[in-house]
Structure formats: C-alpha cells, structure tokens
C-alpha cells in the first residue's frame, strides 16, 4: 500500500453500508485518506464479522462486491482473513459434521488428538498453552452419526479453529485471496495469525520455525495475486520485530501508549527508544477496533509508567 492515512472501520460504522462509506470518504476525506481497512464484511455468526461463514459473499445489508470495487477505484482496500478459525455455522464445518473423514474439508479442522495424540492432554501440557481464557482451548462436538470429538477452539464457540496449513486450508486461502484480489483488495490482514501453530509441548502460539514456514507459504500464494499480507497480533514488541525481520509489515501497536505516556509525563525517553528500534516497515497505529493496546508496550514502559498512563487516561 502507498504511504498515507488508512481509515479502519466496520462496513456499517461510517454511514451504514459500503455505498454511504464511499460517499462519506469522497465528500469529506478524499484528499487525506489513501486507504481504508474495512473490517470483516462477510456473512458471520458472531463477533461482529470475525466468525465468517465464507469469503465468497458480502453481508447483504452492507452492499455488494460492486460497492466494494467502487471504493477500490479511489482508495486502497485492506480486508481481513481469519486464518485461525471459521464459523461453526459454515458449510465447511457442517459438511465435516455430516461426512466426517469423507468430507473434503476433513483436514481443515483440528481434533485435539491431532496435536496431543489424545483427547485428554495432561495438566502439564495444557499449562504450557497460551490461552485467551481460563477454560481449555477446545470444544466437544457430536457428528451427525452420533460420534463425539474434541476439537480445538481458541476463541468463542462460534469460532472453530482450522489448520490453515492443511490441504483444505491452503485451498481455502488460495481461493479467498484470488477472489478478494479480483474484487480490488490490495492487502489482507491475517487476523489472529499467532494462534495458527499448534504443537505438542509448546505454547501453541507463534511456534518457531513452524510459524515462518506457514507465513512464507501464505506469502507466496498472495504474491501470485499481487496482494500484500499484514500479520496481526497483540503481543510483546519483540515478536513484531521478528515478523518484520521475516519480510512482513507489522502494526506498531505500542505507539499509542508511548505517545500518551510522553504527553502526560513530559518524558520522551521511552518513545525515543522505540522509534530507534521499532520495525520501519510498519503501520503506525493510533487506535484500533480493539482499543488501545497495553500489552504491546510491555518492557517499553515499566509497569509503573504503564499504570501512570492508564490512570491519567
């Protein structure tokens, strides 16, 4: 994408739908906005679009592919692909529940036993897993045949984890990138990308070298369609540095907290330090749909400096 300001918005947050989004951009912001990151606009079963049923349709209330293409004629578009999960109500998951191993999507999903070799990993193994919630990262499901299975589920029960590196996963990703490219999307944000590496005996988060192997493969696919990839993760700044070293742009999620601290305390040393060591191929971020990240500034600010900033804010 070109250097410039990128607006991040849901499809219905800046006027109600894609048509009014374009009208508002053209009327008030065309001279300052170079791109627009439109948060998930696909049919979804939850999490405001982040539980996609598919990537072949646009939620009817938001508009059409023609509406999206019209935005792309003037502004570079970024869109999301949830490489860690798909909706529980998707046809992919329903097909697997119906046909089990005979489903063409069987390799797309992740039974716990595929990672741990058992449906009941030990407390020690589970303790190593980086989790978003205190409960175990799995869900018990029942196939149409009546057979039970325990599958990986990092986020909500509507967001079933997938194996993006599987044969079915690569096929789905390739078809998705091709479709979005044809509709004018220039950059794809890889949502929740840090969780795509599941390996016994590890944290199952950003597992090396597996994460770089997978990202390299996804990058090769996207380059075939002239689409850039932007890995998304809220984590320690050292991980962003590693991602950048492997040739990907990253988000500068640490910047908002550092700016606020500098503003409130009139102490610019932490900000200066970050600007000297931060990845240079980055999207400098002042806010996101998730709010201002605190974990992203860990060790760039001390706990005392962080607490001071939060309190002042």
Beta strands in the chain (DSSP E): 5-9, 33-38, 76-82, 85-87, 138-142, 148-152, 159-161, 185-191, 228-231, 250-252, 282-284
DSSP 3-state of 36: strand
**Cα atoms found within 13 Å of the Cα of residue 48, Cβ hemisphere only:** 9
Active site residue 191: yes
Q: Please enumerate in sequence order all residues whose Cβ is within 8 A of that of 282, keeping only pairs 6 or more positions apart, or say none.
A: 240, 244, 249, 250, 251, 252
In contact, 48 and 98? CB cutoff 8 Å: no
80, 232, 252, 296: the active-site residue: 232
Please list the helix, strand and coil fractions of the chain in percent, rounded to the nearest 5, in that order: 40, 20, 40
Between CA 265 and CA 207 the distance in angstroms is 37
Torsion of CA 179, 180, 182, 183, to 10 degrees: 120
Active site residue 144: no
Between CA 205 and CA 144 the distance in angstroms is 32
Between CA 126 and CA 241 the distance in angstroms is 28
Between CA 60 and CA 79 the distance in angstroms is 17
In contact, 15 and 67? CB cutoff 8 Å: no
| Tokens read off for 228 | 């850039």
In contact, 51 and 157? CB cutoff 8 Å: no
| Tokens read off for 157 | 């029960």
12, 80, 161, 191: the active-site residue: 191
Any idea which residues carry the catalytic annotation?
Answer: 191, 232
């Amino acid at each position: 994408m070109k250097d410039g300001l990128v607006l991040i918005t849901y499809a219905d947050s800046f006027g109600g739908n894609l048509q009014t989004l374009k009208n508002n951009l053209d009327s008030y912001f065309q001279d300052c906005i170079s791109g627009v990151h439109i948060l998930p606009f696909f049919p979804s079963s939850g999490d405001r679009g982040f539980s996609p049923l598919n990537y072949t349709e646009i939620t009817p209330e938001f508009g059409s592919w023609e509406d999206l293409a019209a935005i792309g004629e003037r502004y570079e578009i970024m869109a999301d692909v949830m490489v860690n999960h798909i909706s529980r109500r998707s046809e992919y998951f329903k097909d697997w529940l119906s046909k089990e191993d005979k489903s063409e999507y069987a390799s797309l999903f992740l039974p716990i036993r595929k990672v741990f070799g058992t449906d009941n990993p030990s407390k020690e193994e589970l303790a190593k897993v980086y989790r978003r919630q205190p409960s175990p990262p799995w869900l018990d499901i029942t196939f149409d045949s009546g057979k039970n299975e325990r599958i990986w589920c990092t986020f909500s029960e509507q967001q079933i984890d997938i194996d993006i590196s599987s044969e079915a996963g690569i096929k789905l990703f390739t078809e998705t990138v091709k479709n979005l490219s044809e509709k004018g999307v220039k950059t794809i944000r890889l949502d929740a990308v840090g969780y795509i590496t599941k390996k016994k005996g590890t944290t199952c988060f950003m597992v090396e070298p597996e994460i770089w192997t997978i990202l390299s493969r996804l990058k090769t696919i996207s380059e075939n369609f002239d689409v850039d990839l932007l890995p998304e993760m809220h984590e320690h700044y050292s991980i962003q540095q590693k991602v950048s070293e492997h040739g990907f742009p990253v988000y500068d999620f640490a910047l908002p907290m550092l700016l606020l601290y500098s503003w409130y305390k009139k102490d610019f040393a932490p900000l200066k330090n970050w600007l000297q060591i931060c990845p240079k191929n980055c999207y400098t971020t002042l806010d996101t749909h998730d709010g201002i990240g605190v974990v992203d500034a860990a060790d760039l600010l001390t706990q005392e400096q962080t607490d001071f900033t939060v309190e002042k804010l």
